Amino acid sequence: MSVGGRLWQAVPPVIREHDTRLIVAILVVVSITYMLLGGLQAYLASESNLLNAMVNSMRFILLTAIAYALLTLALNLHWGYTGLFNIGIAGFMAVGAYATYILAAPPGGRPAPGLGLPVPVAILGGMVAAAIVGGIVALPALQLDADYFAIVTVGFSEIVRLSIQDSTFSGTVQDPNLDTYNVVNLFGAEFGTGGGRGIQAPIGPPTDVLFEGTTAVGQPLIDLGASYGIGQPVVTGMTYVVFLGILVLPAYYVVSQRLGNSPFGRVLKAIREDETVAQSLGKDTRWFKIKVFMLGAAMMGLAGILWRGRAGYINPQSFRPLITFYVFTALIIGGAGSNTGSVIGAIAFTSLLLNGPRRVAGVIDSAAGGLPSPSNFYVALSSLDPAMYAGYLVSEISALKFIFVGIVIVWLMQNRPEGMLGHRKEIASSIDLSERPETESGGGVAATDGGVSDE
């Protein structure tokens, strides 16, 4: 048995055999690990407030892990359930976030004007916009094979990225002496995207309402944190993480699970396995793929709003194509077709590969009291100094982590291409047929040919 198999068997069955408990247990382990790493780094750096650093470290990793879990669950609807190779994740995130900001930004605002709609309406409008754009992309793309479909979604993502940066929609002042904007005038409503400068809107985490004034919930939390030396930004940030972890992530998970176990979801899996067979059974596979693509796009748009749009300001750099690669990597690690695997893969990717090397490098640098930073690899190699080697690894860890990601993907493709939890047994029927009922006449078990057993 492999090392991974031994570790899996070491997990108590009460956790291993229950998906929700397994996800919670992994989140707890990751939280404690990052709290300890954050506290150790703060201690080595002689920071006075260790608890604040520990909680902030936990807040950061949980926010990142939950955000990627939302995106991975949405991608699992496309790729894991239906076999749609969507490489436009960042584009759908951008559509949802920018549409929300344009709808919520005040008219005449700078650097880009908006429509001034209420924030809840704007968020709903952003999801609808992402779904509509997903449907528009899917209509022509679904007539293509998988590889060409992927190229279309990549092209769409680039069109979105370049459009939101274009000066035509920038909303920036053309002349300091003139109050004129490069905006779009649609049915008398003027709006812009801020171009490469970004766009502002009165949007923040939904939990911010708890901390406005002296509310019955927010102020006691702030006072409690202050009593332990935890700053207000960390308290408000952790409150938002709890909101995402208790309400939003379970909602995504439940929707994905129920969809997968429904007749609609079984058609999606049939399309993934063999679309021709599904068509021969009278299913309009093209319409099924359009609907699931629109739903997944809306979920990606909402994830972009909740993650990238929580600070009241967004810019095109928040939606780099690299995010799409990260989400696919998380789904590959967890296992395509498994919702539990999608969440666990996102947690594993963000904690071990995306942020783990940087956090460990920070601890090493703090412990060494500042390592040398060679200008390039050859300088470090020719020095024959272990400190130079360590300094190079620490200073270039942001680039070197891609090597770790590549090694993990290659290993998975060779040893476990289905991921950690992929290819688990799925019940195809709407009821569990594992236990056959006894017949009323003789109390025996029904025979496999449909008759009654003679025993």
The answer as to whether 377 is a domain residue is no
* Mean local confidence (pLDDT), 161-176: 69
Greater confidence (436 vs 102) lies with: 102
The answer as to whether 445 is a domain residue is no
Model confidence band, residue 178 (pLDDT cutoffs 50, 70, 90)? very low
The answer as to whether 404 is a domain residue is no
The residues facing 329 across adjacent strands are none
Rounded to whole angstroms, the Cα distance separating 201 from 104 reads 6
Residues 160-169 as b/e (b if ≥16 CB within 10 A, e otherwise) read bbebbbeeeb
The answer as to whether 95 is a domain residue is yes
At 246-272, the pLDDT tens digits run 999 999 999 999 998 899 999 999 988
Model confidence band, residue 376 (pLDDT cutoffs 50, 70, 90)? confident
Weakest mean pLDDT among 27-31, 182-186, 206-210, 444-448? 444-448
Range of the domain at 56: 3-370
207: which residues sit within 8 A by CB, 6+ positions away? 236, 239, 240, 243
At 68-106, the pLDDT tens digits run 999 999 999 999 999 888 999 999 999 999 999 989 988
Encode the chain in three state secondary structure.
Answer: CCHHHHHHHHCCHHHHCCHHHHHHHHHHHHHHHHHHHHHHHHHHCCCCCHHHHHHHHHHHHHHHHHHHHHHHHHHHHHHHHCCCCCCCHHHHHHHHHHHHHHHHCCCCCCCCCCCCCCHHHHHHHHHHHHHHHHHHHHHHHCCCCHHHHHHHHHHHHHHHHHHHHCHHHCCCEEECCEEEECCEEECCEEECCCHHHCEECCCCCHHHHHHCCCCCCHHHHHHHHHHCCCCHHHHHHHHHHHHHHHHHHHHHHHHHHHHHHCHHHHHHHHHHHCHHHHHHCCCCHHHHHHHHHHHHHHHHHHHHHHHHCCCCEECHHHHCCHHHHHHHHHHHHHCCCCHHHHHHHHHHHHHHHHCHHHHHHHHHHHHHCCCCCCCCHHHHHHHCCHHHHHHHHHHCHHHHHHHHHHHHHHHHHHHCCCCCCCCCCCCCCCCCCCCCCECCCCCCEECCCCCECCC
* Number of domains the chain contains: 1
Weakest mean pLDDT among 142-146, 241-245, 401-405? 142-146
Model confidence band, residue 54 (pLDDT cutoffs 50, 70, 90)? very high
The answer as to whether 230 is a domain residue is yes
- The pLDDT > 70 percentage for the chain reads 84
Weakest mean pLDDT among 42-51, 187-196, 243-252, 261-270? 187-196
Mean pLDDT of the chain: 83
The answer as to whether 411 is a domain residue is no
The answer as to whether 128 is a domain residue is yes
Whole-model pTM: value is 0.88
The answer as to whether 285 is a domain residue is yes
Model confidence band, residue 447 (pLDDT cutoffs 50, 70, 90)? very low
Bridge pairing between strands 178-181 and 173-175: antiparallel
Residue 403, pLDDT score:
86
* Mean local confidence (pLDDT), 148-159: 86
